Structure 1
Amino acid sequence: MADESTADASTPAPASASPASSRPTDPDFLSCVLQPPTPSSSRPDPDYVALRRFLLRRKPPSALNHRMEWRCNGKGYVAYRNFLLRRIEGGAASSSAHSTPGNSGRWFAGPSTSEVDSWSSIRDLIRSNSGVLSRTVSVSSKQSESERHVRFAEPAYSFVGMHCIFDNCKSSVTILKFGRANSDVLAYGSSEGSLTVCQVSHPPSVLQKLVGHSKDITDFDFSSNNQYLASCSMDKTVRVWEISKGTCIRVVYGISSQLCISFHPVNNNLLLVGNANREINAINFSTGRVVSKLTFDNAVTALDIDHTGQLIFAGDAQGYIYSISVNSHTGSLSRAHKNKSSKSKSSITTIQYRTFSLVARCSVLLSCAQDGNLYFFSIATNAQGYLTLICSLKLASTVQNIRASFCPLLSLEKGEFIVTGSGDSNVYFYDLARPKNSCVNKLQGHGSAVIGVAWNHGENLLASSDSDGTVIVWKRAKSN
């Protein structure tokens, strides 16, 4: 097999072709590896595939060394395996699109150049032939240079396609969220000031359109029972809505743009709101009165609260992240720590807390800045929320306030996966534990910059929104 692209695969290589023939080998294993597909068909014989998988799974540990030493006409095992792989993929290419990070949850970047990694590659081939491959909606099969280095996308973040689309907004959808502990209700706010509440189950439909804000919706949050929705806007107001009736039941007026909002997870009678006047206000939900406030150095642009309700994490317009202690009963606020994530002075667009991380083995925080920097912190809960930077990721800078989100904890492999929008109209998945080849998948389908992303409670649906007003709900593939 002097040239693996033109080698005749119809004749098994003789055992004498191996320089290690004097050493003990597994005859069943070698004969299975060398056995080619039937010459009369472009697809391998099913019995051959089943036998080959069985023998590969029971091979002795020493088989790796035998395989590394095996040669046939000057070519190694990896070259022969890739030759067979191309024959298999060639037969499937006529019925499906090429596997790329955009349309496949598991894909191959081409022949491997390392024989040491041959077992992991053959394992991927086995999984691919076993039906692990799942396709997503794609408008292009081109790969960037950086994507060719990634062997396959994380199977937990493979998608079968679009679940449904909402395109009733005529302006940019700036923020979207699923209801709490609810996999069916989705709400999104637009730059025209409207809030839309939908159900994504079959048939998908719009439940309510909440009209009252006169400028951009900057943020909103569901109450714990999904009965109420609190929103804030550039029109300097905070509004509370009763979703079932579609009516605004309370308006809280401010003196500056209200930029971020969250219900307290333990005491749902507390609303925490950050504004352009460099404040975080604790508002009594029942009365609409401000019960406590805390002043910072810059406008508070994003916030999130830990699961205990004792710590608030807030980002400002200059890239600082604050840890704030909050009293769950009285709503009193006190600053604990001020953390600078980088030397840049870019506004924080996303702050998201996670109770546990497989990488950090503790509570963690995700921060996304407008200049395209993502930061991943560990949280010292016994030190009032002190943050330690674990890693960072530089994306393309954008003028949009693009948001990011943690991905579900589905992989038992070591990694920290996040999803983010992008100015090139794609949804990207990254592994923060891979500094060089961090992109593991992407979804293509939007026609403009993707701004918001959000997972539902069941973590089987991902929603994304763009600057044209389109909301796409993607359905994640089932994983074994």
Structure 2
Amino acid sequence: MAAAFQQQIFALDARFNAYRAPGNPNFKTLYIRRRSQLLRENAKFKDIETIKKYINIRSQLLQRRYGVQDNISISSSSSRARSSSKASLAVDEVSGNTKKKNDLTISENYAFTGVHHIFDQHSDEVSVVKFANNDRSKLCCASRDGTVSICDVTATPPRVSVVLEGHTDAVTDCDWSASNELVVTCGLDGALCVWDVARRRRLREARDQLAAPLLCCAFQPANNNMVIAGNARGMVEVLNVSTGIYPRGGSSILGGKVQAIACESSGRMFWAANDKGVIVSYRTSGTGALSKLRRCCVGGAVTSLSWSPWLARHPALLVSAADNSLYLFRITDREGSLSLKKRFETVHRSHGVRSTFCPIMSFRRGVCVVSGGEDACVYFLDIEGHAGQPVVNKLQGHASAVLGVSFSYDESLLASSDVSGLVIIWRRG
């Protein structure tokens, strides 16, 4: 079966899986995994005309069964008005599309037309997915099953390159070094681990200073010998991974449970946030010493922070909070003060839902951010567009709450993970 059509069939199943057995997410997960397996087993089938007929007939049957139209992605009402009223699966859209890329609307620009691959190697929720820096082939997945997997997304077929084992409890966060040679992970076992990806081995393990569970971690961008972490007892701490030592002055008490960290590109400043909705900016010295700067509060537990260097000529911070909110803050000064620009409604109350800026910002077509959701959807929101209708695209394919989201550097692929342990790689149209 031609790879493109195989992916279209799976994408069709993934979209309608959102309507199948709404009260039984485990059944939906098993179904989509089985469909993926069947498609792989029949990959050698080459009759393109028969495949096209199969796609059209299956699309019609699923529409009748669930009483909904099959749109490649659920877009805003304005983009739906421009589309055909008849549901169809565009199998020849590439040859017929002559519109230049710069002429696309923002909803068309972020129309992910199919599933590139699905990974199901983890037995528990995958809380974080992260593409490598400037490399669309490598994806890191951190799971509550205590393992970390590195996937080769662009291989034929995509595969799991290595599973890193060493944590004794759930892995809560991960980050790539600037060179993509190292990955840092942290977990509920209180371990902060640095891994050599190429050699598939652990280079360093350090225990939390308070023997507390670690909830978030990040490499210091300008000096990858330093790792910043946050624990469940409210401490933000810096570790020198070369020596395995926490430097003097490199710890600060934020309070609550520190659940998210985001660094600006110079590495001199970062933000940390906790389950009380408190966000604090910090300055780091060359030795790793911390200075607490500015404080800001939101209405719910913060589960994700994402920094952007240039949003309408001002750096910005994107905040996912468990009060059904996605906050967009402007960074107003060199001390990291935050000024609320916009707040968006999300479906986020109890899980560690994450969000991120799109890597390529085109103000001509709008500025997008992506967020997971507890309704099993992936949301694209235009943060510079119409305030009343910020959602420009919605991807349906998961059967449970979507937690992690990550773009490849060129925006050609989007990874999303969920509570059941499924990771879906979406392909851009």
Which bin holds the TM-score, normalised by the shorter protein?
0.7 to 0.9
In structure 2, distance between residues paired with 1:413 and 1:180: 25
Alpha carbons of structure 1 residues 224 and 409: separation in structure 2 relative to 1, 3 Å: closer
Q: 1:189 and 2:136 equivalent?
A: no
Q: Name the SS for the 2:400 alignment partner.
A: coil
User: What does residue 210 of structure 1 align with?
Assistant: 164
In structure 2, distance between residues paired with 1:221 and 1:379: 23
Residue pair 1:223, 1:268 contacting (<8 A) in 2 also = yes
What do the CA deviations read for 1:85-109 (whole angstroms, capped 9, x no partner)? xxxxxxxx99988574726799433
User: What does residue 20 of structure 1 align with?
Assistant: none
In structure 2, distance between residues paired with 1:413 and 1:94: 39
Q: Name the SS for the 2:109 alignment partner.
A: helix
Counterpart code for 2:234: R
User: What does residue 109 of structure 2 align with?
Assistant: 156
In structure 2, distance between residues paired with 1:298 and 1:163: 39
C-alpha RMSD of the superposition: 2.7
In structure 1, distance between residues paired with 2:423 and 2:277: 28
User: What does residue 36 of structure 2 align with?
Assistant: none
Match of 2:331 among 379, 386, 393: 379
Match of 1:278 among 221, 234, 246: 234
**Superposed, which structure 2 residues align to 1:309-388 within 5 Å?**
309-327=267-285, 329-341=286-298, 344=299, 346-358=300-312, 361-382=313-334, 384-388=335-339
For structure 1, list consecutive stretches of 5 or more residues without a partner in the other structure.
1-92, 112-128, 135-151
Residue pair 1:99, 1:107 contacting (<8 A) in 2 also = no
In structure 2, distance between residues paired with 1:101 and 1:132: 18
What do the CA deviations read for 1:141-198 (whole angstroms, capped 9, x no partner)? xxxxxxxxxxx76222111211111111111111110112211100101111100001
User: What does residue 109 of structure 1 align with?
Assistant: 81
Q: 1:251 and 2:199 equivalent?
A: no
User: What does residue 254 of structure 2 align with?
Assistant: 296
Residue pair 1:164, 1:473 contacting (<8 A) in 2 also = yes
User: What does residue 234 of structure 1 align with?
Assistant: 188
What do the CA deviations read for 1:103-162 (whole angstroms, capped 9, x no partner)? 679943379xxxxxxxxxxxxxxxxx855599xxxxxxxxxxxxxxxxx76222111211
User: What does residue 48 of structure 1 align with?
Assistant: none
Counterpart code for 1:338: R
What do the CA deviations read for 1:17-46 (whole angstroms, capped 9, x no partner)? xxxxxxxxxxxxxxxxxxxxxxxxxxxxxx
For structure 2, list consecutive stretches of 5 or more residues without a partner in the other structure.
1-55, 61-68, 84-95
Match of 1:167 among 102, 120, 140: 120
Match of 1:419 among 362, 365, 370: 370
Q: Name the SS for the 1:154 alignment partner.
A: helix
Alpha carbons of structure 1 residues 283 and 412: separation in structure 2 relative to 1, 3 Å: same
Mean Cα deviation higher: 314-323 or 396-405: 396-405
Residue pair 1:101, 1:153 contacting (<8 A) in 2 also = no
Q: Name the SS for the 1:423 alignment partner.
A: coil
In structure 2, distance between residues paired with 1:441 and 1:99: 14
TM-score (norm 1): 0.68
Counterpart code for 2:217: I
**Superposed, which structure 2 residues align to 1:418-457 within 5 Å?**
418-433=369-384, 434-457=386-409
User: Percent identity between the aligned chains?
Assistant: 31
In structure 2, distance between residues paired with 1:270 and 1:108: 48
Residue pair 1:101, 1:440 contacting (<8 A) in 2 also = no
In structure 2, distance between residues paired with 1:228 and 1:352: 21
Cα drift, residue 409 of structure 1: 3.1
User: What does residue 474 of structure 1 align with?
Assistant: 426
Residue pair 1:104, 1:153 contacting (<8 A) in 2 also = no
Alpha carbons of structure 1 residues 188 and 377: separation in structure 2 relative to 1, 3 Å: same
In structure 2, distance between residues paired with 1:354 and 1:428: 18
Cα drift, residue 396 of structure 1: 2.3
TM-score (norm 2): 0.75
Residue pair 1:265, 1:305 contacting (<8 A) in 2 also = yes
User: Which protein is richer in strand relative to its size?
Assistant: 2
In structure 2, distance between residues paired with 1:362 and 1:104: 28
Name which one, 1 or 2, has greater alpha-carbon Rg. Answer: 1
Alpha carbons of structure 1 residues 297 and 94: separation in structure 2 relative to 1, 3 Å: closer
Residue pair 2:72, 2:114 contacting (<8 A) in 1 also = no
Q: 1:176 and 2:129 equivalent?
A: yes
Q: 1:263 and 2:219 equivalent?
A: yes
Alpha carbons of structure 1 residues 336 and 162: separation in structure 2 relative to 1, 3 Å: same
In structure 1, distance between residues paired with 2:273 and 2:238: 16
Residue pair 1:380, 1:387 contacting (<8 A) in 2 also = yes
Residue pair 1:175, 1:452 contacting (<8 A) in 2 also = yes
What do the CA deviations read for 1:365-413 (whole angstroms, capped 9, x no partner)? 100012221110111233x111111011121233211111112334333
In structure 2, distance between residues paired with 1:167 and 1:320: 35
Alpha carbons of structure 1 residues 95 and 220: separation in structure 2 relative to 1, 3 Å: closer
In structure 1, distance between residues paired with 2:309 and 2:293: 19
In structure 2, distance between residues paired with 1:169 and 1:414: 37
Residue pair 1:375, 1:393 contacting (<8 A) in 2 also = yes
Cα drift, residue 278 of structure 1: 1.2
Alpha carbons of structure 1 residues 163 and 133: separation in structure 2 relative to 1, 3 Å: farther
Residue pair 1:372, 1:395 contacting (<8 A) in 2 also = yes
Q: Name the SS for the 1:302 alignment partner.
A: strand
In structure 2, distance between residues paired with 1:305 and 1:356: 14
